[in-house]
Amino acid sequence: MNQSETRRILELVRGGELSVADAVLKLKMQPFEDIGFAKLDHHRALRQGVAEVVYGAGKTPEQILQIAAAMLPREKRTILITRLSPEAAGVLRSSYPLHYHEMARMGVIGELPAPDGIGKIVVATGGTSDMPVAEEAALTVEVLGNTVVRIYDVGVAGLHRLLAHLDEIMSAKVIIAVAGMEGALASVIGGLADCPVIGVPTSVGYGANFGGISALLAMLTSCSAGVTVVNIDNGFGAGFSASMINRMK
């Protein structure tokens, strides 16, 4: 939005011709910035409370660099880039103070905000092999201003490992359960917790796991009430949803 458009809306509010609520709606509906190969939604934070997140997979390092260059003058908060390759991270790091998290395949430009969410978000995994997806969820949670508690390798093959963390589970505001194989972790945690549980099926598993489909179907058919499910390996989506829940007043 340019200054003349903003001024016109504010003048209408001052003159009583436009309500504050309608003015906010107009601000939310302002156009994007077209940089040729991408259209940047600078007003997403106004509409949704969170600035646009860059999906790095499929984009060239140069495209990601141009997107970051267009976003930085407008965004005051941290810029998050998901599914970022090491090669693209190297290109970005040459121009910006990028923090690259290799396991999560995520890049962060800027500093993490101080946590101001209502409570703690627990991220739990069935096994160590699920950690890349879990770290994507956990880092998303942190970038969006929440406190995260990591509980890794607590799958149902050794249930006592999970039961050793009952205090963290029962005091959480939201729990993200990340698991491959048969995906049973979400159901078990759902039966222990009094908060929303977000299941994240992963593609970890042997042949009949079908690249995560068996874990996805198991979580979708969970008998534990309060369990919702995101797509296979979608740690970012789980982290984003958990943050929205944790910030509801």
Summarised one tens digit per residue, pLDDT across range 13-65 is: 888 988 988 887 777 666 676 778 787 777 777 677 777 889 999 999 999 99
Task: Kindly indicate the confidence band of residue 76, based on its pLDDT and cuts at 50, 70 and 90.
Answer: low
Backbone φ, ψ for residue 211 (5° rounding): 65, 25
pLDDT tens digits for range 186-211: 999 999 999 999 999 999 999 988 99
**DSSP one-letter code for 134:** H
Q: For residues 125 and 25, what is the distance between their CA atoms, to the nearest angstrom?
A: 40
Instruction: Give the Cα-Cα-Cα angle 117, 199, 161 (nearest 5 degrees).
Output: 90
- Quick check: pTM over 0.75? yes
CATH code 3.40.50.1970 for 120-246: yes
Domain boundaries, the chain: 1-30, 33-109, 120-246
pLDDT number for residue 244? 93
Q: For residues 226 and 62, what is the distance between their CA atoms, to the nearest angstrom?
A: 43
Tell me which H or E stretch contains 101: strand 98-101
Q: For residues 130 and 150, what is the distance between their CA atoms, to the nearest angstrom?
A: 12
Residue 73 in this model has a pLDDT that exceeds 80: no
Q: For residues 32 and 39, what is the distance between their CA atoms, to the nearest angstrom?
A: 6
Q: Provide the token pair at 2.
A: 């340019």
CB 124 within 8 A of CB 152: yes
- pLDDT above 70 covers what percent of the chain? 93
Q: For residues 115 and 138, what is the distance between their CA atoms, to the nearest angstrom?
A: 13
CA-based nearest residue to 134, from 56, 231, 219, 202: 202
Q: Provide the token pair at 220.
A: 């979708």
